[in-house]
Amino acid sequence: MPSNTTGRNATADWFARHAVPLTTLDPDAPLDDLEPLRGIIGDARVVAVGENAHFIHEFTLARRRILRFLAERCGFTVFAHESGFSEGLALDPWVRGAGDETDLTRINEAADPWGHGDLLRHIRRHNTTSGRPVRFAGIDVPQAGGSLLPALIPVAAYLRDVDPDILPVAESAIAMAGRIAGGSVASAAPAWARLGTAGQDALTAALTRLKLRFQALEPLYTSRSDRNRYDAAFWRLEAALHTDDTVRGMAALFGGSALPADLSVRDRYMAESVQWHLSRSAPGTRMVLAAHNNHIQKHPVAYDGHLTTLPMGQYLDRALGEDYVALALTSTADHTVEMYPDPDAALGFTIADTALAPPEPGSVEAAALDAGIGLALVDLRHARHSDRLPDLTGIRTQSGTMTMPIADAFDGVLISPAVTMQAGIGV
């Protein structure tokens, strides 16, 4: 490590050496400045692109631009998103050219509480002119954990064709799920708590009964339908089961009785959904995966020293190894978009532009500011190999800071100096 002759600390010096300036976030601008990204991703099959907070315009632009680069120059043909698996099966035909704007509004109303309709329109436009179209894949539990219904209703429709005798159990689960349905897990968890122990356990028992019967009667179900329909219906049922457990875990968190890492169930489902889509794709298919930094990171999620989640990225890193790359998105701005619990809001929270304290020492943002970095891409792989990075132990998440070994959690980071609240978000 060269001696510090600039007055900056060693971490800032490291960032100054390894940051590659980017020209713009304009998704339609020339892409040459993103060529260094090719070195970070290598031959990886799955490239995850994060964000340190939802509802930020600059992060949406960055994802669109990165997706365009990976699709046009690197041959990526699947865009996977932190939205419901079940809903994604309905959205994919629209993204590939079916229907019109009215269909997007109808289908996406339940699928996308985070307001990413513009991103879907961008992919659809790409597909109208590209010789290499991009498929859409949802990977998450329904409605960000807010409702079992987007998964359960199609399951019931499938059972009506292959096993009508068990349909009353599915209809009972749908009726109970309807009592807790909300815009996100933040609104569903309080409603779930009001079901009482008997109602809560009855819902879980009905879902478990359906799953066991699905598995036991697989030969019968597939003979009455086909393998693709069975696989989709079964994974939708798994989505409902995982949502039930996610809501249970969030209610326990709100009530102060959550077990350590209890929210890992949702992230495990997302990781397995990624692999579900890959296993049904042509050999060599490459996927762009968009989700919050907390989901894509390879290191466990902990707040104030308390383990909350083993993230999707940790599971994917274990399963895929070098075929999985995680790129964090963060900002050095002095404000962000924060989500505040609000039981009267449709999603269970409201959002507001929120002032931030100066970034904490040892954080990505502090190092970037100290190094005078603006819009830039930083390759963190050097820190694990030829050029060790001095202590870098934090990155902003929402209005807080997540503490972890950053170079072990992410392969690269894109830094934006600006933050603007995304327009048109009605929460």
Instruction: Report the amino acid identity of residue 109.
Output: E
| More confident position, 246 or 344 | 246
Round the average pLDDT of the chain to a whole number and report it: 92
Quote the pLDDT of residue 7: 54
Tokens coding 104: 């997007």
| More confident position, 240 or 342 | 240
Residue 403 C-alpha from the chain's centroid = 20
pLDDT in tens, 175-226: 999 999 998 999 999 999 999 999 999 999 999 999 999 999 999 999 999 9
Q: Give the C-alpha separation, 369 to 359, whole Å.
A: 9
Q: Give the C-alpha separation, 41 to 326, whole Å.
A: 9
The label of the residue with tokens 């790359």 reads 325
Q: Give the C-alpha separation, 114 to 118, whole Å.
A: 11
Q: Quick check: 396 and 295 in contact, CB under 8 A?
A: no
In the predicted structure, residue 106 carries a pLDDT above the cut 90: no
Quote the pLDDT of residue 422: 87
Of 373, 366, 352, 368, the closest CA to residue 419 belongs to 352
**pLDDT tier at 114, thresholds 50, 70, 90:** low
In the predicted structure, residue 110 carries a pLDDT above the cut 60: no
The label of the residue with tokens 């698996």 reads 85
pLDDT in tens, 307-322: 999 999 999 999 999 9
| More confident position, 327 or 392 | 327
Share of the chain above pLDDT 90, in %: 81
Q: Quick check: 300 and 311 in contact, CB under 8 A?
A: yes
The label of the residue with tokens 């890959």 reads 278
Q: Give the C-alpha separation, 388 to 402, whole Å.
A: 21
Q: Give the C-alpha separation, 389 to 387, whole Å.
A: 6
Burial class (CB in 10 A: 0-12, 13-18, 19+), 394: buried
What is the signed CA dihedral for 180, 185, 186, 190, rounded to 10 degrees? Answer: 30
